[in-house]
Every structure is written in C-alpha cells, then in structure tokens.
Structure 1
Amino acid sequence: MKHRPKVANLPDVASQVEAQIAGQLDWVGMNEIELPVLLDGSDGRRMQTTARISAFVDLERPEKRGIHMSRLYLHLDRALAEHTVTPALLRHLLRDFLDSHEDLSSRAMIRLDFDYMLRRRSLASDNSGWKRYPISIIAGLEGREFELEMAFQVVYSSTCPCSAALARQLIQDQFRKDFADSGSVDAESVLAWLGSEEGIVATPHSQRSAADLRLQLAPSFEAFPFVEVIDAIEGALKTPVQAVVKREDEQAFALLNGQNLMFCEDAARRVQTALESHERVIDFWARCRHFESLHPHNAVAIVTKGVEGGYKPIDGQPSGWRHG
C-alpha cells in the first residue's frame, strides 16, 4: 500500500490575509453543488436522487478575507452520503457548518433542489405512471433558531369560466338555429345533435397551469411531508395533469375540467384554503399561473397566509423559489 507523501505547509490566503476592503457579508458559500441524496419514498422505502445544493454561512468578521468553502463541501458529502434528508439532519449539518467557522460566522443556510417522483394511478383505466415534482428544501440556523422551508410545484389544468359561458351561449344559439322550425323536438334528435360536430360549435379554452408553493414548516417533525402536501394541493385543485391516459381517462379528465372551471384567482383561493389549517405549515406563499391558450401572456394570482410582516423566506427570494 502506497502512502501519500507529506505535504508541506501550504499558504492559506483566505484566512491569513486581511480583506482588501473591510466589510461584513450576508452570505458566502457555494451553489449548484451536485450530490446524490437519500429521501423517504412514498412506499416507506428510501430512494436516491440527484440534488443541486447551495451551502452558505455569513462572514461577520469584516477584516477576514474569506471562509473555508471546502469544509462546507466535506460536511455535505459525509452527511448526505449516509443519511436520509430530514429536518434533524439539516439542523445537524448547519451546526457543523457553524462549528467549522466558529471564528467567522454565526448564521448558516442550506438549500437542496431535486425532483421527487411519485407513481400515480390513471383516472379510470387500470394503469399508473410516474409524475415528477420539483422540490426545494431551505433550512437556516442562527444560534438555536432553526428555520425550515419547503417549496414545490404542482402542474394542473384550468378551464376558463368566462370562455365556458361564451361557448355555452354559442351552442344555445346554434341549437335555436337548427331546431327553430321543428316545433317540438324529441329527445333522440337532441342527443344526436349534441353528439355531432355541428352541434358543439364552440369549446372553452383550457391550459396547463402551475401552482408554485413555498411553505414555512414547523421544524419539530421527524420527516418532510412531501406526499402529504402534494396530495393536499392536487386534491384542492382537482385537475392535476395525468401520466398514462387512455380514452376513458381522457374522458374522466374532461369531466373534471368541466366540473372545476376556474380563473387563477379561484385556484389561488383553493390553495389558500388547503394550507391555512395544515398543522405543519406556519406560513406560506403561493403563486398560481395559468399559461393562457388565448393570450400570449400568463394569468397570475399570488396568495399568502397573512402572517404579520409578510412572508420572510430564509434565502430572501419568495418569487424565484427555484433558482441557481
């Protein structure tokens, strides 16, 4: 077994040389760190995925030039290789960040961006398929104050109520035109007309839509509520996009859309209602975007829980919940 030669003392410019311009820094660290992470799966088993990670501490000593970035990476690598991502693990990791910078820093932050995969059943057929949910976990530690956030996105379909009303009016007008001279109309003739392209002369516009959510979580729970909160939002919106779709599934999806006409404002209020009483959620910020098929722009509604002072994200970026 070969032994590595001893390395001579190497210069440490970051810690030995004073800053060229003195000043405290809010955050210093790295982002876009690519590491595998272990997560609790929906079936109770651990699963592995790839995360892009941001790791930061503050630099409160104005005369110090920099921090020890390699220490942050090594703490990440060791902790995430062995343990499932939980609130307790992130708190311990942030404590390690600060202990390794005890002469420089008093605050630490970590952010993990990854995709969470769930297998979802089709609406009517005996099929299932995978759906991807982008998730971000953000945690911060200052002294003993531990903060925890979770951001995620749910994609759904939205059908415009105004467009539906206008389409119904055109169908009524066409019915009057086609049957005005018929006197009484038998049911079979109406059924045949409703099943023809000539009868349904207009359809409401619908579009793929997205709910972006950022939740401030109570940090005392053992595990992250990935499936729990995703199910809550999809259950409130009622029209989540589907993976495997046979004809019977598409028909069931059309029925859901017809029974859940909504503007972006309606969608935002549904999300608000689903989150307001959730025991894990201290505060929330949510944005519903409808990627209009009628317009070249989006319709957007934003809602918060209404906590005094407004939503205060750990990393200071509520609207860009997933970023580099």
Structure 2
Amino acid sequence: MPNQENTVRLLPDVAVHAQPHLAGALDWVGMADIQVPVHFDAGDGEVQRSSAKVGAFVNLKRPDKRGIHMSRLYLQVEQALSTQTLTSESLHALLRGFLDSHKDLADRACLSIRFEHLVRRPALRSENSGWRAYPVTIQASLTGDAFLLELGTEVVYSSTCPASAALSRQLIQDQFAKDFDVGKSLDHAAVLAWLGSEQGIIATPHAQRSVACLRVRPAQGAGFDLIGLIDRVEHALGTPVQTAVKREDEQAFALANGSNLMFCEDAARRIQKTLDADDRLNDFHIRVEHQESLHPHDAVAYASKGVVGGYGSTP
C-alpha cells in the first residue's frame, strides 16, 4: 500500500478546457487593485515605502485558450514590487516576466501602480512645515521591444479670477468716489483707515481650489523625478495649497493670489511653458480644473507638448 504522505494529489484545473463556442482573442486579462507595498524614490534620494494598488494585465491572443495564469502575474508583482525600488528598469523586467510566463498566450503586457507619496513642505513665512500627500500613478506597457512608461500626479492650487478682480476694483473705486469728496483735499490718515475697513474694501474677487492633473513620459534614463516635477509646476502657478499656516503665512498666501490672477487657460499655459522647457520629458499631458465658486460647473483646459501621435491627439 503506497505511503499517502508521499502521494502527490492532482488538483483540478478547469481553465485548460477550451470552450469552442466562446472562442475569441481578448485585449487584456489580469487583475486590478492588487494590494502590495512599493518602494519609491521621488528624486530626493530617499526611498519611501507606500501602500499601493496595482493592476497587472496581458492580452490573450489565443482564441482557443480559456484563460491566462493569473497567479503567475500576482506572484511576480508581489516579488518584484515589495522587494525592489521602482525604476524604469525594474518595471521593464517585470513586464518581460509577464510575457515570458505567458509566451504561448500573450505578446503584450501592461502594469498600473497607484499610491501616495508624502513630501514635507515649508510654510510661506513662518518657520513651520507640514506634510503633503501627492497622488502618484505609474503606467507601463510592453509590446514586443516597445516599452512605454508614464508618471502621473496632481498639484492642488488656488486660482483667483482676473475678471472678478477687475470688477471688484471698479466697485472699490466707486465706493471711494462716494466716501471722499472730489473737491476736498485727501487726508492721508483717513484714506489709510478707509482702506483697512470693511466699508472701503466692499468687494473681493472670487477664488477657488484648483487641480492640475499631470501625466508625463520621462526621457530614457531620466528616472522618476516626482519632486522636481511638482516643484516646477507649483513655482509656475505661484499659489499651491499650504500645510502649516500662521497669520503671516496666510497673508503671504493672499499676496500670492493677488499677484497671480489666472483663468484656467492661463494656468494651463504656465504649466505647458515650464514643462516644454524640460528636456527630461519626451511628452506631457496637462488637465487643469478650476472648481468654480461662481458657477456650479468647473472651468477646464488641456495642454500637451504637441508631439506627433502623442498626448495631444486625444483629450
């Protein structure tokens, strides 16, 4: 009688049984929202560990095959992402592993990674600082030898409407004409007090929280310079949202808003100009959204580098 402990038990695998009546090739098959830790260097040399959700897919080019080997994708994702720092090279190798483990089934592979990266930001005037969590998306695909990589993030900022500012200034001028007789000499102290009163500043322009959604394709060897990308965009806009805020910081923020009046078109062009000058980016896609305080709808603008066949071909 055989030793039952040494007997290998065969487990059923219904996926190997084809269903001819449902034959057909599939664009993508895989898993979404795989939970795994990732290690990411945002460009400052400090590797940060974050909780990520990952999508892993291959195409199913064989119409006669019922399915792919999903466990193979999962185990490769878990092994690669939880032990290695994210780089272009490591993602390329991971996708190549997807295809090598499905060589009879697939010739295309793709990967998506979503997580948040914490960056400490200083206050505008005070000595304080605080953390900002920036969303990060990484998309990678491999078709034959064609490897494509994309980095995405969002910058949140304040936008003050130029038209509203002009209309507010006109109302303040009208109020000034009412409160100060044109035929009398102006008293400096009285004017100064008037400017500091609610009666004097009777109108203020509307401003709103706004979001710039960025997708960039780094040049070969450029790496994931997330912090550099964010810094350039926030500097171009001039009014990124703040973390720690004392009164002197809030006053500085008000000054920045007044000095950076912008429509959504202005914001998109500011970002476009600064990214277009960056030779570490092969292409980029910008979507700015001004979440209006005047309207129930939002003002939106798109911009890109203008590469033929690149992001600019679709919104």
Normalization by structure 1: what TM-score?
Answer: 0.92
Find the aligned partners of 1:24 and 1:216 in 2 and give their Cα distance: 29
The 3-state SS of whatever aligns with 1:265 is helix
Kindly provide the amino acid, as one letter, of the partner of residue 8 in structure 1. R
Aligned to 1:151: 152
Deviating more after overlay: 304-313 vs 294-303: 304-313
Q: In the superposition, relative to structure 1, how do residues 19 and 73 fare at CA in structure 2: closer, same or farther (>3 Å)?
A: farther
Matches within 5 A, 1:137-148: 137-148=138-149
Deviating more after overlay: 281-290 vs 301-310: 301-310
Kindly provide the amino acid, as one letter, of the partner of residue 71 in structure 1. R
Q: In the superposition, relative to structure 1, how do residues 219 and 111 fare at CA in structure 2: closer, same or farther (>3 Å)?
A: farther
Kindly provide the amino acid, as one letter, of the partner of residue 137 in structure 2. S
Matches within 5 A, 1:15-54: 15-18=16-19, 20-40=21-41, 43-54=44-55
Aligned to 2:229: 229
Find the aligned partners of 2:29 and 2:96 in 1 and give their Cα distance: 16
Aligned to 2:240: 240
* Residues 112 and 137, structure 2, Cα contact 8 Å, conserved in 1: yes
The 3-state SS of whatever aligns with 1:203 is coil
Q: In the superposition, relative to structure 1, how do residues 184 and 292 fare at CA in structure 2: closer, same or farther (>3 Å)?
A: same
Cα distance, 1:16 vs. partner?
Answer: 3.7
Matches within 5 A, 1:1-324: 7-18=8-19, 20-40=21-41, 43-180=44-181, 183-221=184-222, 223-311=223-311
Cα distance, 1:5 vs. partner?
Answer: 7.1
* Residues 42 and 118, structure 1, Cα contact 8 Å, conserved in 2: no
* Residues 139 and 146, structure 1, Cα contact 8 Å, conserved in 2: yes
* Residues 43 and 225, structure 2, Cα contact 8 Å, conserved in 1: no
Normalization by structure 2: what TM-score?
Answer: 0.94
Cα distance, 1:219 vs. partner?
Answer: 3.6
Cα distance, 1:11 vs. partner?
Answer: 2.4
How many residues align? The count is: 311
| Unmatched runs of 5 consecutive residues or more in structure 2 | none
Find the aligned partners of 2:30 and 2:112 in 1 and give their Cα distance: 11
Kindly provide the amino acid, as one letter, of the partner of residue 306 in structure 1. G
Find the aligned partners of 1:291 and 1:5 in 2 and give their Cα distance: 67
Aligned to 1:322: none
Q: In the superposition, relative to structure 1, how do residues 7 and 41 fare at CA in structure 2: closer, same or farther (>3 Å)?
A: farther
* Residues 114 and 137, structure 2, Cα contact 8 Å, conserved in 1: yes
Deviating more after overlay: 190-199 vs 18-27: 18-27
Find the aligned partners of 2:89 and 2:42 in 1 and give their Cα distance: 17
Kindly provide the amino acid, as one letter, of the partner of residue 273 in structure 1. K
Find the aligned partners of 2:96 and 2:269 in 1 and give their Cα distance: 38
Superposed CA deviations along residues 13-36 of structure 1, whole A, max 9, x for unmatched, are: 223434542211111101111111
* Residues 161 and 207, structure 2, Cα contact 8 Å, conserved in 1: yes
Deviating more after overlay: 37-46 vs 146-155: 37-46
Superposed CA deviations along residues 135-190 of structure 1, whole A, max 9, x for unmatched, are: 10000111111100011100000000000000000000000000025611022221
Find the aligned partners of 1:6 and 1:174 in 2 and give their Cα distance: 95
Q: In the superposition, relative to structure 1, how do residues 181 and 228 fare at CA in structure 2: closer, same or farther (>3 Å)?
A: closer
The 3-state SS of whatever aligns with 2:278 is coil
RMSD: 1.8
Find the aligned partners of 1:191 and 1:132 in 2 and give their Cα distance: 42
Q: In the superposition, relative to structure 1, how do residues 199 and 6 fare at CA in structure 2: closer, same or farther (>3 Å)?
A: farther
* Residues 20 and 65, structure 1, Cα contact 8 Å, conserved in 2: no
Cα distance, 1:9 vs. partner?
Answer: 1.8
Q: In the superposition, relative to structure 1, how do residues 220 and 15 fare at CA in structure 2: closer, same or farther (>3 Å)?
A: farther
Find the aligned partners of 2:26 and 2:278 in 1 and give their Cα distance: 36
* Residues 158 and 207, structure 2, Cα contact 8 Å, conserved in 1: yes
* Residues 141 and 147, structure 1, Cα contact 8 Å, conserved in 2: yes
Identity of aligned residues (%): 56
* Residues 146 and 219, structure 1, Cα contact 8 Å, conserved in 2: no
